[in-house]
Amino acid sequence: MFDRIAPRYDMLNGLLSFRRATVWRRKVARFVRDDIPIRVLDLATGTGDQLIALARHLGNITGGIGIDRSDRMLDIGRDKMRCHGLENRFELRRGDATDIPFESESFDVVTISFGIRNVHDAHRTLAEMHRILKPGGRAMVLEFSLPESRSVRTLYLFYFRTILPWIGGWISGDREAYRYLNQTVESFPYGGQFVDRMRQAGFEGVEANPMTLGVVTIYVGDKGREG
Ligand SMILES: C[S@@+](CC[C@H](N)C(=O)[O-])C[C@H]1O[C@@H](n2cnc3c(N)ncnc32)[C@H](O)[C@@H]1O
């Protein structure tokens, strides 16, 4: 599906989120330590926007890797890395977030933005995120959630169920992909339920940080110093 929508993915992301997607990815950077050199792994990296946001807002990102299963998303991402002069710092390669092709304890930070909902096994992905982090490392998950306020939620769901699939389908030529978006967002655990999932995967100090009236949440969890 992501191979099909890749050429219009970035443009639709900006349009359908009212340019908020860039702001949310930038906010992920706020949860990263800025006092030590950081090597980052970005899962389900798509066209690489989360890595670009981290590099733009943090001077201590020494480098990193983005993995994704969609070759077309990765091709666009590699072009973007070249445009931003980041091709020597970030490598994008094909890989599965449920079976991360790296040794344990090899990264300081792991991120997954708008990806955990799309992988076929979220439990396994969280366990893999924990495995590849160095002791004391940090994981951040940026994902859609549902607003707590009933009136905001009603408005939001109207937009999500009707307007968004229509515009997304019209511009991308793939209505199913944008119906899939709202179906997965409504069924995926968020808030306390997702915090529990991160704890089950071994993360400590897990917190949920809702943004923009709760339409997205940044979850943050640490790997203990004991590993
Ligand atoms: C909504 S996009 C998010 C892309 C990017 N992180 C962003 O913030 O725009 C979801 C991505 O997850 C990728 N994906 C789905 N399942 C995956 C898996 N098991 N391993 C790696 N990537 C996966 C898709 O190919 C797609 O590029």
Both tokens assigned to 130: 């924990």
State if residue 50 touches ligand 1 by the CB under 6 angstroms criterion.
Answer: yes
Q: Which ligand 1 atom is the nearest neighbour of the CA of 3? A: 25
Domain residue ranges in the chain: 2-7+17-146+187-222
E strand spans, the chain? 38-43, 61-68, 90-94, 107-113, 133-144, 204-211, 216-222
Q: Are 78 and 87 in contact (CB under 8 A)?
A: yes
Q: What is the mean pLDDT of the chain?
A: 93
| Domain over 2-7+17-146+187-222 is classified CATH 3.40.50.150 | yes
Q: What is the pLDDT of residue 185?
A: 84
Q: What is the pLDDT of residue 227?
A: 67
Distance CA 138, CA 108 (A): 7
The alpha carbon of 85 and the centre of ligand 1 are apart by a number of angstroms equal to: 23
Distance CA 19, CA 22 (A): 6
Q: What is the pLDDT of residue 8?
A: 82
**pLDDT tens-digit map of 60-117:** 999 999 999 999 999 999 999 999 999 999 999 999 999 999 999 999 999 999 999 9
Q: In the predicted model, is pLDDT for residue 184 greater than 90?
A: no
Q: What is the pLDDT of residue 26?
A: 95
State if residue 10 touches ligand 1 by the CB under 6 angstroms criterion.
Answer: no
Banded pLDDT at 10 (limits 50, 70, 90)? confident
pTM reported for the whole predicted model: 0.94
Q: In the predicted model, is pLDDT for residue 176 greater than 90?
A: no
Q: Tell me the percentage of the chain whose pLDDT exceeds 70.
A: 100
State if residue 115 touches ligand 1 by the CB under 6 angstroms criterion.
Answer: yes
Residue of 70, 180, 183, 185 with the most ligand 1 atoms within 8 Å of its CB, for mutation: 70
The alpha carbon of 44 and the centre of ligand 1 are apart by a number of angstroms equal to: 3
State if residue 17 touches ligand 1 by the CB under 6 angstroms criterion.
Answer: no
182-204 average pLDDT score: 93
224 backbone dihedrals φ, ψ, rounded to 5°: -60, 155
